[in-house]
Amino acid sequence: QKEVEQNSGPLSVPEGAIASLNCTYSDRGSQSFFWYRQYSGKSPELIMSIYSNGDKEDGRFTAQLNKASQYVSLLIRDSQPSDSATYLCAVKRAGGSYIPTFGRGTSLIVHP
Amino acid sequence: GAVVSQHPSRVICKSGTSVKIECRSLDFQATTMFWYRQFPKQSLMLMATSNEGSKATYEQGVEKDKFLINHASLTLSTLTVTSAHPEDSSFYICSASLVNTEAFFGQGTRLTVV
Protein backbone atom coordinates (compact mmCIF):
# COMPACT_ATOMS: atom_id res chain seq x y z
CA GLN A 1 0.00 0.00 0.00
CA LYS A 2 1.59 3.20 -1.14
CA GLU A 3 0.85 5.87 1.44
CA VAL A 4 1.75 9.43 2.15
CA GLU A 5 1.16 10.49 5.73
CA GLN A 6 0.70 13.99 7.03
CA ASN A 7 -0.51 15.32 10.34
CA SER A 8 -3.88 16.92 9.60
CA GLY A 9 -3.31 19.68 12.15
CA PRO A 10 -4.26 22.39 12.44
CA LEU A 11 -0.77 23.69 12.99
CA SER A 12 -1.01 27.14 14.50
CA VAL A 13 1.96 29.50 14.46
CA PRO A 14 2.30 33.22 15.18
CA GLU A 15 3.06 35.63 12.40
CA GLY A 16 6.79 35.83 11.74
CA ALA A 17 7.54 32.37 13.10
CA ILE A 18 8.82 29.34 11.22
CA ALA A 19 6.17 26.81 10.25
CA SER A 20 7.40 23.24 9.89
CA LEU A 21 5.29 20.77 7.93
CA ASN A 22 6.19 17.11 7.76
CA CYS A 23 5.35 14.23 5.47
CA THR A 24 6.37 10.58 5.47
CA TYR A 25 5.93 8.11 2.66
CA SER A 26 6.00 4.35 2.45
CA ASP A 27 7.06 3.68 -1.16
CA ARG A 28 10.85 3.48 -1.33
CA GLY A 29 10.59 3.73 -5.11
CA SER A 30 9.43 7.34 -4.83
CA GLN A 31 11.71 9.71 -6.70
CA SER A 32 9.85 12.98 -7.01
CA PHE A 33 8.40 14.99 -4.15
CA PHE A 34 6.13 17.98 -4.22
CA TRP A 35 4.48 20.44 -1.89
CA TYR A 36 1.20 22.04 -2.88
CA ARG A 37 -0.74 24.78 -1.14
CA GLN A 38 -4.53 24.74 -1.23
CA TYR A 39 -6.64 27.62 -0.05
CA SER A 40 -10.17 26.85 1.03
CA GLY A 41 -12.42 26.39 -1.99
CA LYS A 42 -9.53 26.56 -4.44
CA SER A 43 -7.49 23.96 -6.27
CA PRO A 44 -3.94 23.08 -5.19
CA GLU A 45 -1.02 25.11 -6.47
CA LEU A 46 2.53 23.85 -6.66
CA ILE A 47 4.98 25.64 -4.40
CA MET A 48 8.02 23.35 -4.25
CA SER A 49 9.42 20.26 -5.89
CA ILE A 50 12.46 18.31 -4.71
CA TYR A 51 14.17 15.30 -6.22
CA SER A 52 17.41 14.72 -4.30
CA ASN A 53 18.37 14.47 -0.65
CA GLY A 54 19.05 17.67 1.19
CA ASP A 55 17.53 21.11 1.26
CA LYS A 56 16.06 23.20 -1.51
CA GLU A 57 15.28 26.83 -0.86
CA ASP A 58 12.93 29.13 -2.73
CA GLY A 59 12.26 32.45 -1.08
CA ARG A 60 10.67 31.84 2.31
CA PHE A 61 10.16 28.16 1.56
CA THR A 62 12.65 25.35 2.16
CA ALA A 63 11.94 21.77 1.24
CA GLN A 64 13.96 19.06 2.94
CA LEU A 65 14.22 15.49 1.70
CA ASN A 66 15.64 12.46 3.44
CA LYS A 67 15.10 9.35 1.34
CA ALA A 68 16.75 7.02 3.85
CA SER A 69 14.23 8.03 6.50
CA GLN A 70 11.46 8.46 3.94
CA TYR A 71 10.38 11.89 4.95
CA VAL A 72 10.06 15.22 3.28
CA SER A 73 9.37 18.47 5.06
CA LEU A 74 8.50 22.05 4.23
CA LEU A 75 9.69 25.01 6.25
CA ILE A 76 8.04 28.37 5.87
CA ARG A 77 10.08 31.22 7.32
CA ASP A 78 8.58 34.52 8.44
CA SER A 79 5.10 33.04 8.26
CA GLN A 80 2.34 35.39 7.16
CA PRO A 81 -1.43 35.19 7.68
CA SER A 82 -1.68 34.73 3.91
CA ASP A 83 0.20 31.44 4.30
CA SER A 84 -2.81 30.03 6.15
CA ALA A 85 -3.93 27.14 3.97
CA THR A 86 -3.78 23.38 3.67
CA TYR A 87 -0.43 22.04 2.51
CA LEU A 88 -0.42 18.83 0.52
CA CYS A 89 2.57 16.57 0.16
CA ALA A 90 2.76 14.45 -3.02
CA VAL A 91 5.20 11.79 -4.17
CA LYS A 92 5.75 10.03 -7.47
CA ARG A 93 7.72 7.04 -8.61
CA ALA A 94 10.13 7.39 -11.49
CA GLY A 95 8.94 5.85 -14.73
CA GLY A 96 6.15 3.29 -14.93
CA SER A 97 3.02 4.55 -13.26
CA TYR A 98 3.60 8.21 -12.61
CA ILE A 99 0.43 8.90 -10.71
CA PRO A 100 1.21 11.22 -7.82
CA THR A 101 0.11 10.04 -4.41
CA PHE A 102 -1.17 12.81 -2.17
CA GLY A 103 -1.25 13.05 1.57
CA ARG A 104 -4.37 14.30 3.32
CA GLY A 105 -2.78 17.66 3.90
CA THR A 106 -1.86 19.72 6.95
CA SER A 107 -3.91 22.75 7.83
CA LEU A 108 -1.72 25.71 8.74
CA ILE A 109 -3.03 28.74 10.59
CA VAL A 110 -0.81 31.78 10.93
CA HIS A 111 -2.28 34.16 13.48
CA PRO A 112 -1.37 37.85 13.71
CA GLY B 1 4.59 26.96 -14.12
CA ALA B 2 2.42 25.40 -16.75
CA VAL B 3 -1.17 26.52 -17.13
CA VAL B 4 -4.11 24.18 -16.92
CA SER B 5 -7.51 25.68 -17.57
CA GLN B 6 -10.67 24.06 -16.29
CA HIS B 7 -14.17 25.12 -17.27
CA PRO B 8 -16.71 25.82 -15.92
CA SER B 9 -15.60 26.94 -12.48
CA ARG B 10 -19.06 26.56 -11.06
CA VAL B 11 -22.17 24.77 -12.28
CA ILE B 12 -25.59 24.08 -10.86
CA CYS B 13 -27.68 21.41 -12.55
CA LYS B 14 -30.90 19.56 -11.98
CA SER B 15 -30.92 16.01 -10.76
CA GLY B 16 -30.91 13.57 -13.67
CA THR B 17 -29.10 15.82 -16.11
CA SER B 18 -25.52 15.49 -17.35
CA VAL B 19 -22.70 17.94 -16.89
CA LYS B 20 -19.49 18.19 -18.91
CA ILE B 21 -16.30 19.63 -17.44
CA GLU B 22 -13.36 20.54 -19.67
CA CYS B 23 -9.70 20.51 -18.79
CA ARG B 24 -7.12 22.04 -21.11
CA SER B 25 -3.37 22.28 -20.86
CA LEU B 26 -2.68 25.66 -22.43
CA ASP B 27 1.07 25.74 -22.91
CA PHE B 28 2.18 22.14 -22.99
CA GLN B 29 1.05 18.80 -24.32
CA ALA B 30 0.02 16.70 -21.36
CA THR B 31 0.98 13.05 -21.42
CA THR B 32 -1.50 12.30 -18.71
CA MET B 33 -4.47 14.01 -17.15
CA PHE B 34 -5.95 13.18 -13.78
CA TRP B 35 -9.41 13.80 -12.42
CA TYR B 36 -9.97 14.27 -8.71
CA ARG B 37 -12.97 14.83 -6.50
CA GLN B 38 -12.80 16.60 -3.19
CA PHE B 39 -15.54 16.85 -0.59
CA PRO B 40 -15.45 19.66 1.98
CA LYS B 41 -12.56 19.35 4.40
CA GLN B 42 -11.53 16.06 2.81
CA SER B 43 -8.43 15.12 0.87
CA LEU B 44 -8.13 14.84 -2.90
CA MET B 45 -9.58 11.60 -4.17
CA LEU B 46 -8.24 10.37 -7.49
CA MET B 47 -11.10 9.29 -9.73
CA ALA B 48 -9.32 8.35 -12.94
CA THR B 49 -6.22 8.72 -15.02
CA SER B 50 -6.47 9.37 -18.72
CA ASN B 51 -3.91 9.18 -21.47
CA GLU B 52 -4.49 10.72 -24.87
CA GLY B 53 -6.11 8.34 -27.30
CA SER B 54 -6.74 5.53 -24.85
CA LYS B 55 -9.41 4.61 -22.36
CA ALA B 56 -9.25 6.11 -18.93
CA THR B 57 -8.16 4.04 -15.96
CA TYR B 58 -10.65 4.38 -13.16
CA GLU B 59 -9.91 4.01 -9.48
CA GLN B 60 -11.70 1.33 -7.53
CA GLY B 61 -15.21 2.34 -6.63
CA VAL B 62 -15.57 4.98 -9.35
CA GLU B 63 -18.35 4.16 -11.81
CA LYS B 64 -16.99 4.48 -15.32
CA ASP B 65 -20.48 4.64 -16.83
CA LYS B 66 -21.38 7.53 -14.58
CA PHE B 67 -18.16 9.50 -14.92
CA LEU B 68 -17.28 9.48 -18.60
CA ILE B 69 -13.79 10.64 -19.43
CA ASN B 70 -12.62 11.51 -22.91
CA HIS B 71 -9.04 12.47 -23.65
CA ALA B 72 -9.31 13.42 -27.29
CA SER B 73 -6.02 15.25 -27.64
CA LEU B 74 -2.82 16.00 -25.76
CA THR B 75 -4.32 19.26 -24.56
CA LEU B 76 -7.94 18.40 -23.77
CA SER B 77 -9.70 16.00 -21.44
CA THR B 78 -13.36 16.08 -20.50
CA LEU B 79 -15.27 14.62 -17.60
CA THR B 80 -19.00 14.11 -18.02
CA VAL B 81 -21.07 13.41 -14.95
CA THR B 82 -24.08 11.54 -16.30
CA SER B 83 -27.48 11.44 -14.64
CA ALA B 84 -26.21 13.60 -11.82
CA HIS B 85 -27.64 13.23 -8.33
CA PRO B 86 -27.25 15.44 -5.26
CA GLU B 87 -24.61 13.09 -3.84
CA ASP B 88 -22.44 13.91 -6.88
CA SER B 89 -22.18 17.49 -5.67
CA SER B 90 -18.51 18.07 -5.04
CA PHE B 91 -15.41 19.95 -6.13
CA TYR B 92 -13.94 18.34 -9.24
CA ILE B 93 -10.35 19.11 -10.12
CA CYS B 94 -8.26 18.09 -13.09
CA SER B 95 -4.51 18.07 -13.34
CA ALA B 96 -2.10 17.50 -16.17
CA SER B 97 1.50 16.45 -16.33
CA LEU B 98 4.28 15.13 -18.47
CA VAL B 99 6.13 11.97 -17.49
CA ASN B 100 8.18 12.47 -14.33
CA THR B 101 7.21 16.08 -13.88
CA GLU B 102 4.99 17.79 -11.39
CA ALA B 103 1.25 17.89 -11.92
CA PHE B 104 -0.42 21.23 -12.54
CA PHE B 105 -3.97 21.72 -11.45
CA GLY B 106 -6.91 23.38 -13.09
CA GLN B 107 -8.98 25.86 -11.14
CA GLY B 108 -11.55 23.25 -10.18
CA THR B 109 -15.27 22.97 -10.83
CA ARG B 110 -17.80 23.31 -8.04
CA LEU B 111 -20.74 21.09 -9.02
CA THR B 112 -24.04 21.46 -7.22
CA VAL B 113 -26.85 19.10 -8.15
CA VAL B 114 -30.29 20.24 -7.02
Q: Which DSSP symbol is given to B56?
A: P
- Tell me the average pLDDT across B76-99: 93
Q: Inform me whether the pLDDT recorded for A2 exceeds 80.
A: no
pLDDT value of residue B1: 66
Task: State whether residue A34 sits within 8 Å of chain B by CB.
Answer: yes
Q: Inform me whether the pLDDT recorded for B29 exceeds 90.
A: no
Nearest to A34 among B44, B93, B102 (CB): B102
Query: Residue B83: left (phi > 0), alpha (psi -120 to 50), or beta?
Result: left
Using CA atoms, how far apart are residues B83 and B79, in angstroms rounded to an integer?
13
A49-80 pLDDT tens trace = 999 999 999 999 999 999 999 999 999 999 99
**A96 Cβ neighbours under 8 A, 6+ residues apart:** none
Q: How confident is the model at residue B42 (pLDDT cuts 50, 70, 90)?
A: confident
Using CA atoms, how far apart are residues A93 and B100, in angstroms rounded to an integer?
8
Contact residues, chain B, for A98 at CB < 8 Å: 32, 97, 99-100
How open is the CA angle A81-A89-B5, to the nearest 5 degrees? 80
Task: State whether residue B40 sits within 8 Å of chain A by CB.
Answer: no
- Tell me the average pLDDT across B71-99: 91
Contact residues, chain A, for B93 at CB < 8 Å: 43-44
Query: Lowest-confidence range among A46-50, A100-104, B79-83, B100-104?
Result: B100-104
pLDDT value of residue A98: 66
**A47 Cβ neighbours under 8 A, 6+ residues apart:** A35, A36, A37, A58, A61, A74
